[in-house]
Structure 1
Amino acid sequence: GIYDQLGGGFHRYAVDGEWLVPHFEKMLYDNGQLASLYLHAYQAFGDPEYRRICEETLDYILREMTDPGGGFYSAQDADSEGQEGKFFVWTADEIRRVLGPADAATAMAYWGVDRGPNFEGSNILYVADLPDIDRVAGARAKLVAAREQRVHPGRDEKVLAGWNGLACRAFAEAGRALGRPDYISAAVRNAEFILDAMQRDGWLLRAWARGAAKLKGYLEDYAMVAAALLDVYEATFKRRWLDEARRLAEEILRLFWDDAAEGFFDTSKDHDPLVVRPRNLFDNAVPCGSSVAIDTLLRLSVFTGEERFETMAMRALRPMADLMDRYPSGLGRFLSALDFYVGPVVEVALLAPETGDGVALLAGEVFKRYLPNRAIAGATAGDAATARGIPLLENRPLVGGRATAYVCRKFTCRQPTTSPEELAQQLAEGV
């Protein structure tokens, strides 16, 4: 029920115990995070249904929630024409008019309409089991086309930096893992939008709307954007994104660190004065700024080899031990960061010849796998400027002039390989 069976994307939450009747609003942060979750499930288990949901969710964001400049809007409203859910629900008669009797019977059985209305005399389309979606592909396309003629729900067209970071990560990861260059392009455009339109005088700003950005960013904005930039780097191997992530990490330490409490404030030291400077330590609908900052600093320490990023991350993480033990369900991102620290972290260097030949096959073996604790770096062999400051890439020659992969742990690498099959074996064996 909370998944839009026709247009893709997830509604905000269910209002009943069966997860059938949603509050029809769609939030960017839900859809970005759920797209990532379904991608990871597909990588881990290989079920094509997970891939379908991931792609349909990202396609929904591109189609309905993307500003022409590349930013992602915050939300799509629940109501249209004064009625909640009117855009999304169907009566049996409406379906018959669009599809005709034979196709309507199949579609209504598939989406539970033949069981009678389930929402104020109309039907929320749902799938009770998981039969073959191809059975109703034609009917689905016709219903989508008919629905497009309805009055659309309104949108909250603010672009929020932190929420955009969550969605940008999903596009970058899915683009690489699923072989979708359009997703990588969306991630790059979004990163460019944030850095070009949402920064002023060295500050990352929190919100953009109607051509203007305002409000100094909070910790979650800096951390989520920095995390996304690391994923955009892995998706493109363009040095700019790693450098920008590092710059934002430096700003996190400068603006938000609290020496006395060994942790991060949610507001910067230059924020308007408050009676109490806030510090949220629980992950809720979105992970808290502190947990994402810790995770990002740990990842950055592997990419750059700078131990101080790891040191600062662990200074913030260690005081959380008791809370993580007592309330693990509320501190999931902190636990993920701890898992990254404990390791092992899969480190992969991909070196390409000048022609670029062969590196795509090696990269495909890496990115199709579920590797939650990873650092993937890439460059053209001999490009000292790109490799400088990235220990994974430094002094890594090609083997026989061919695209070469190095699989490493703590910068100690196995025998380099030019074979996708051998690389797959090394990754399967761990490090």
Structure 2
Amino acid sequence: MDDISTGILFSLLILLLVISGYFSGSETGMMSLNRYKLRHQANQGHRGAKRVEKLLARPDRLIGLILIGNNLVNILASAIATILGMRLYGDMGVAIATGALTLVVLVFAEVTPKTLATLYPERISFASSIVLQLLMKLLYPLVWFVNGITNSFLLLLGLRVDKSHDGKLSSDELRTVVNEAGGLIPRRHQDMLLSILDLENVTVEDLMVPRSEIAAINVNDDWKSIVRQLSHSAHGRIVLYRDTIDEVVGMLRVREAYRLMMDKNDFSKENLLRAADEVYFIPEGTPLNIQLLKFQRNKERIGLIVDEYGDIQGLITLEDILEEIVGEFTTSISPTLAEEITPQPDGSLMIEGSANIRDLNKSLNWGLPTDGPRTLNGLILEHLEDIPDSQLSIEVAGYQMEIIEVSDNMIKQVRVLPNQLKKTG
């Protein structure tokens, strides 16, 4: 080193600092990349993305390569800085060189390149991957040796770096990705994607038409009553049963009944029963995502939900599940949530007792409990453990409510006070 001029040593030091900054920026850029975007770009044939994805396939080797290069460069830079310090300032030059080099490395070889790499990870990574790929081939024996020692030490700690990592996202992580998509995905589409992710957390009971509201005809009624019910039916299909709805005999398409009506000779109770389809039963507790696939696999559109004793609990259709994903259809004859909620002049809300709790939470951003009753009426009854009188003020799950109307052993209308709305809105 004594034969090398001071100017050349300064030039070498600057070059080493540049190389150190390259390694630091490359490491940060590689680790800051969006892996899913990178995979998409690689699948689209982007050469830089393919190189980076190949390097990231074994991150332990990539990090080993970068750190080997970075440490060699920094150690050599430290040695040159020490020589320069002693030439210029004698024995005090060691301390001066150490302090100055530390500041320069932090600013120009660490903070600055890593900040740039964080801001522009793709540009930095795609460009540096060319050099890193070449260095990986040249220094592979050294990288393999260093990683072998490191991996052996980690193995003693019970860790395996070669364990496959598929990078799959959980439902909660996917939900976060969708929420943070911002303007990249329209709000409407975000809601649909989130609804699909929520299907596994919702069961058929949450959407079913309750047993008491199922459109059904008792085939043991007199013939005139049956014809009158068919003529005034607002549904496409009607459940046929004997005496009690638990004794279901078929699912009748109303249009098929109309066809029989056109031929008076064929229009009879026997032919009506013969025209009915076989009933499709669904066990209670079935998640919506599973039921959607079962509807598709069994070529069904409607089913009756039964409990463990075989008793009918309710009815659900394919359209009900689709509405959970895309929103309510305008053709639905059931009351919409907007029809069940009436804003009041004082800022409170008048809500029908039959309103679904999940729908209220989604529409109003509330936090009513959903692990019990499915309607507002059921939630209040469970809270009171009694059928209340009207004009009763209560607090349920932190929400101030006033019971307005009670009839037929059911709470028909509830008013939620405005002070609670301000807190939750």
Q: Which TM-score tier does this pair reach, normalised by the shorter chain?
A: under 0.3
Q: Report the TM-score when normalising by structure 1.
A: 0.24
The structure with more radius of gyration: 2
